[in-house]
Chain A
Amino acid sequence: SQKIEQNSEALNIQEGKTATLTCNYTNYSPAYLQWYRQDPGRGPVFLLLIRENEKEKRKERLKVTFDTTLKQSLFHITASQPADSATYLCALEDRGSTLGRLYFGRGTQLTVWP
């Protein structure tokens, strides 16, 4: 069966450290993978997209890697801050799917403490 697994439901780290979140997928052939941030009571917000032929993408303190051999994406937040506390979702668009349909993981709740 198809699965998207985000390995930790919750991750707690100290301010200033690097947070690393993991997304693994099974039985998908993604054209690209995306990461979203969701704050309590709000809709997800797009952060980064990485294509299958890209190894790494950066945006300010955020970095995403994508390994199609391992079927895994890593999401890093460097120099983390309490304001980074949120739930982070990975999502992918499968090559076989139609019309921009995305499949989401359940998310990892990140807490950054001072």
Chain B
Amino acid sequence: DAGITQSPRHKVTETGTPVTLRCHQTENHRYMYWYRQDPGHGLRLIHYSYGVKDTDKGEVSDGYSVSRSKTEDFLLTLESATSSQTSVYFCAIRGTSPSGTQYFGPGTRLLVL
């Protein structure tokens, strides 16, 4: 599992509430990614990071922000949760063997009421 954990694993929240999801890795990987997965859409990239304090937007970044103050932690924040952000969120790291593969965390299931 490449030492990736996500917390919380499940969360129910109300519309308008800020929510922060955490991804933690233990193997000092430089590149980290946040995806959301929805029926009919597959995996879509929200944000990614190429180092501490270095982040960039993916294809569905509106309403989300990220931070990476330490190599091992990549935080995803829903600034004001909406029902359209109900989804399963996966964190991933870029592996090196073979180069280019990604290793995923177990996911966080978020329900916004």
Contacts and interface: CB of A to CB of B under 8 A. Distances in A.
Interface residues of A, number: 22
Interface SS of B by simple majority: strand
Chain B interface: which size bin? 20 to 34
Interface string B100-111: 111111110000
Contacts of B40: 106
B100 A49 contact: yes
A43 B94 contact: no
A106 B98 contact: no
Contact of B90 (A31, A43, A91, A107): A43
Interface stretch (A12-20, A68-76, A78-86, A93-101): A93-101
A101 B58 contact: yes
A28 interface: no
B94 A100 contact: yes
B36 to A, nearest CB: 11
Contacts of B43: 44, 89, 91, 104
Interface of A: 31-32, 34, 41-46, 49, 89, 91, 93, 98-102, 104-107
